[in-house]
Amino acid sequence: MSKKIDVLSQKGEKVKDIKLEDNIFNIKPNDAVIKDAVVAAMAGARQGTSKTKTRSEVSGGGRKPYRQKGTGNARQGSIRAPQYRHGGIVFGPVPRDYSKKMNKKEKRLALRSALSYKALDKELIVIDAINLTTNKTKEMVELLNNLKITNNKVLICVKDLTDNVCLAARNLANIKVVLPCEINTYDVISSDNLLIEEEALKALEEVLK
């Protein structure tokens, strides 16, 4: 049976209800693929630019510090060997690419699984449209108050990015605004609520069908 959900106004009042696509919002979530998608997203966010110098790259140490024999000390070839202060680093980090690959089917399954969890846990909120008259933060806060999600971490998905919505949301640390084509598994899973415009929902369903 198709899952239905209420469509709310900006005041938090029910306008109508609509059916959700079963193959997107009503599948059995695949936890393993969700985990892979989250790991891939977090790995892709790593810069991988950390670097240490080996003994051959450290400045100085070209001359043998003392003769090979007769001093009573252990033989040494350079004062930039790892055991010396200011010496090179052994097996230190070097620049690398941490990103992990997932095929297209896995990515889509992970996103559909995350969206199904949101619908199952009643963390999906559909709004008819988000129309802010100003770009003031207080107007976005008022919208969240009406929907009773003020203190939650909210992912807002809109059909079109408007200046008012972007500017009103940018000072709120718990809000992220995305387009349907930008929505991803990591953002969905890491948010407490997914607030999506009705038109954005239709666009998302078209992409994931």
Domain map of the chain by residue range?
4-30+101-208
Residue in this structure with the two tokens 């696509």, named with its chain if needed: 21
pLDDT above 70 for 70: yes
Backbone φ and ψ for 135, nearest 5 degrees, come out as -100, 25
The CATH topology of domain 4-30+101-208 is Ribosomal Protein L4; Chain: A; (3.40.1370)
The pLDDT value recorded for residue 68 is: 94
Span 154-181, mean pLDDT? 92
The pLDDT value recorded for residue 2 is: 64
pLDDT above 70 for 143: yes
Bridge partners of 156, per DSSP, are 177, 195
Predicted TM-score (pTM) of the model is 0.80
What is the percent of the chain where pLDDT is above 70?
Answer: 99
The pLDDT value recorded for residue 66 is: 93
pLDDT above 90 for 114: yes
Separation between Cα atoms, residue 36 and residue 113, nearest integer Å:
12
102 and 38 in contact (C-beta within 8 Å)?
no
Helix, strand, or coil here: 187? helix
What tokens were used for 141? 């806060």
The pLDDT value recorded for residue 1 is: 54
Neighbours of 162 (CB within 10 A): 15
pLDDT band at 209 (very low <50, low <70, confident <90, very high): confident
Bridge partners of 8, per DSSP, are 14, 127
Separation between Cα atoms, residue 61 and residue 78, nearest integer Å:
5
Separation between Cα atoms, residue 193 and residue 184, nearest integer Å:
14
